[in-house]
Structure 1
């Protein structure tokens, strides 16, 4: 969701930052989605499940049925995160590395004893209204986008590069925390692991 100049399809696969990203990895029977603020923010975004029916009464397995009535792959607690979709190891690795939200159609790992719904991913706060001056992109006197710290300063400590190219040496900045406070369902830096306490396993 960014500018591609005079064309409708971006050659790079994404618009020119700063731009919020709605990312999808569709790989039946388990799909993934997330909202990313790593490249900055320009407009509010929401990914909302449409159709289907809940079927979350099967012990530790949490499922959301597709419209055709066939249960999509679900979530099992206490299984290693690396067990994700054995048939798609490379894609699963990408998902885990980028901290995408695991979903079967649309799903999220929660405690089974709690009410379960097919969750939406949202970033509905308008970060442009409280974007720090040094991150602002202005047009005609108005803030139209908010850069990430990496985009604004291009420094290793903000971009997860160089000595910081490791989740053990990289820590979120105050800027990424500001993004996270405004949009807790989105990820705000490359090594963020918002779901490190959840586990999932493909159900076949």
Structure 2
């Protein structure tokens, strides 16, 4: 049996402009760098320990001085390049690697809001005979809640059989949402939760970052806290229902577990892909 101590964490920017990925660690040992600039088309290789529990998100429209002090339009970390807490209105990739019985759990979360399309690709060590890895189409969720990179309805990346998408092929295709229109994607965020549109580059479409009802109001009802901190007392709300329509595989509120949590055997690595293109994937229960 292999001794998995260091887990690869690859951060990839497929957006058309520079982003500033951020990483926070709740428990365990995370990467040495917790925030950095990542230009379009570039990947950053990091490692975490198997005990890591943390989050990854992207920041947009940032300006920092030589000391790493500045600000970002979305996902800001209290004005610092290196992060210690999650910024509001950010699409999150969440990981709990030592979760339970030799399994690592992960998800895409819109609980704090949405700013960038995001996908998670699990990376398997197929040379390890002791591991039974799941199929790629059961372990690689994607949330495309903006028009940048959105494929048309009927999206099929496997047309020539040799083509791959998020580690999958025609033999194990991902289930995509092929009902949501471009109009739906561009207008899903409730108007009272919209952050003023930000422009990504000169020739790119505007994206519309969206606060969640929890991050906007801090309400115990929307945040599932205090006397609302149980699944029976805290259900979906107007924001979470809108978010779930465009990103069925993502967490939309605190107790959205059934269709939003993914697991793989401990030892898998992960790639977090910003602006993966294509369309959002569908939860197994909705296909």
Give the TM bin, normalised by the shorter chain.
0.5 to 0.7
The equivalent residue for 1:67 is: 126
Say whether 1:157 aligns with 2:221. Answer: yes
- The answer as to whether partners of 2:104 and 2:265 remain within 8 angstroms in 1 is no
TM-score under structure 1 length normalisation: 0.59
Task: Map Cα deviations across residues 165-204 of structure 1 (whole Å, 9 max, x no partner).
Answer: 22111121121111111111111111123259x9x999xx
- Does the C-alpha gap of structure 1 residues 177 and 41 become closer, same or farther in structure 2, counting only changes over 3 Å? same
Secondary structure of 2:114 counterpart: coil
- Does the C-alpha gap of structure 1 residues 128 and 4 become closer, same or farther in structure 2, counting only changes over 3 Å? farther
Comparing both structures, which one devotes a greater share of its residues to strand?
2
The equivalent residue for 2:193 is: 135
The equivalent residue for 2:93 is: 22
Partner Cα separation in structure 2 for residue 143 and residue 47 of structure 1: 21
The equivalent residue for 1:34 is: 107
Comparing both structures, which one devotes a greater share of its residues to helix?
1
Partner Cα separation in structure 1 for residue 246 and residue 105 of structure 2: 22
Partner Cα separation in structure 1 for residue 79 and residue 226 of structure 2: 35
- Unaligned 5+ residue runs, structure 1? 53-65, 75-103, 109-115
- Does the C-alpha gap of structure 1 residues 125 and 164 become closer, same or farther in structure 2, counting only changes over 3 Å? same
TM-score under structure 2 length normalisation: 0.44
Deviation of residue 6 (structure 1)? 4.8
Which structure is higher in RCO with an 8 Å CA cutoff and minimum separation 6? 1
Deviation of residue 153 (structure 1)? 2.1
- Does the C-alpha gap of structure 1 residues 171 and 118 become closer, same or farther in structure 2, counting only changes over 3 Å? closer
Deviation of residue 131 (structure 1)? 1.4
- Does the C-alpha gap of structure 1 residues 124 and 38 become closer, same or farther in structure 2, counting only changes over 3 Å? same
- Unaligned 5+ residue runs, structure 2? 1-56, 58-74, 147-184, 200-205, 267-287
Deviation of residue 144 (structure 1)? 4.0
- Does the C-alpha gap of structure 1 residues 122 and 71 become closer, same or farther in structure 2, counting only changes over 3 Å? farther
Deviation of residue 148 (structure 1)? 0.4
Partner Cα separation in structure 2 for residue 39 and residue 118 of structure 1: 25
Partner Cα separation in structure 1 for residue 214 and residue 242 of structure 2: 14
Count of residue correspondences: 146
Question: In structure 2, which of residues 143, 162, 174 is the aligned counterpart of residue 123 of structure 1?
Answer: 143
